[in-house]
Amino acid sequence: MSFRLFEEKHHASLYQKYRLSPAREVKELILKYLEEKKGPPHELAVDLGCGTGQNTRLLAPHFQKVLGIDVSECQVEEARVVPGFTNITYSAGPAEELPVPDGSVDLLTAASAAHWFDGKRFLKEADRVLKPRGCMALFGYADNFTLNYGSCGDRLSNIYEELKRTLQPYTSTQVAVSNSKLQDLYEAIPYPDKERIEVIPVKEEVTVGNTVGLLETYSTFQAFHRADPQAAASLLESTMTTFLKEMGVSSPDTKLELRLEYFCVLACKPQ
Ligand SMILES: C[S@@+](CC[C@H](N)C(=O)[O-])C[C@H]1O[C@@H](n2cnc3c(N)ncnc32)[C@H](O)[C@@H]1O
Q: Could you tell me the domains of the chain?
A: 9-268 (3.40.50.150)
- Identify the band that residue 8 occupies on the pLDDT scale cut at 50, 70 and 90: low
Instruction: From 136, 55, 154, select the one nearest 98 (Cα to Cα).
Output: 136
* Residue 250 DSSP label: -
pLDDT at residue 11, rounded to an integer: 75
Q: Which atom of ligand 1 is nearest to the CA of 95?
A: 20
Range name among 70-79, 173-182, 186-195 with the lowest pLDDT average:
173-182
pLDDT at residue 7, rounded to an integer: 59
pLDDT at residue 151, rounded to an integer: 93
Q: Which atom of ligand 1 is nearest to the CA of 15?
A: 9
Instruction: From 3, 7, 18, 4, select the one nearest 216 (Cα to Cα).
Output: 18
Backbone angles phi, psi at 88, to 5 degrees: -105, 135
Please, which residues have CB within 8 angstroms of residue 251's CB and are 6 or more apart in sequence? 208, 244
What's the 117 CA to ligand 1 centre distance in angstroms?
A: 9
Spell out the SS3 assignment of 102-164. Answer: CCCEEEEEEECCHHHCCHHHHHHHHHHHEEEEEEEEEEEECCCCEEECCCCHHHHHHHHHHHH
DSSP calls for 53-106 = SHHHHHHGGGSSEEEEEES-HHHHHHHHT--S-TTEEEEE--TTS-SS-TT-EE
How do residues 204-256 score in pLDDT, each as one tens digit? 999 999 999 998 888 899 899 999 999 999 999 999 999 999 999 999 999 99
Decide if 105 contacts 44 (C-beta within 8 A): yes
Q: How far apart are the first and last CA of the chain?
A: 31
pLDDT at 61 over 90: yes
Torsion of CA 101, 108, 38, 60, to 10 degrees: 100
Q: Under DSSP, is residue 242 helix (H, G, I), strand (E, B) or coil?
A: helix
Distances (CA, A) of 48 to 67, 103, 108, 221, 261: 8, 17, 7, 22, 21
Rounded distance between C-alpha atoms, residue 35 and residue 204, angstroms: 26
CB atoms within 10 A of CB 230: 8
What's the 48 CA to ligand 1 centre distance in angstroms?
A: 7
Ligand 1 pocket test, pick from 70, 122, 178, 264 with the greatest ligand atom count within 8 Å of Cβ, gives 70
Per-residue pLDDT, averaged over 64-90, amounts to 96
Ligand 1 pocket test, pick from 26, 54, 71 with the greatest ligand atom count within 8 Å of Cβ, gives 71
pLDDT at residue 5, rounded to an integer: 52
pLDDT at residue 110, rounded to an integer: 98
Lining ligand 1 with CB less than 6 A are: 2-3, 6, 15, 19, 48-51, 54-55, 69-72, 75, 94-96, 111-113, 116-117
CB atoms within 10 A of CB 208: 22
pLDDT at 88 over 70: yes
pTM attached to this predicted model: 0.93
Ligand 1 pocket test, pick from 3, 6, 262 with the greatest ligand atom count within 8 Å of Cβ, gives 6
Per-residue pLDDT, averaged over 178-192, amounts to 96
What's the 149 CA to ligand 1 centre distance in angstroms?
A: 31
pLDDT at 103 over 90: yes
- For ligand 1, atom 12, name the residue with the nearest CA: 49
Distances (CA, A) of 130 to 70, 109, 214: 18, 11, 32
- For ligand 1, atom 14, name the residue with the nearest CA: 49
Range name among 25-29, 96-100, 226-230 with the lowest pLDDT average:
226-230
pLDDT at 1 over 50: no
Sign of the CA dihedral running 89, 94, 95, 97: negative
Per-residue pLDDT, averaged over 78-97, amounts to 96
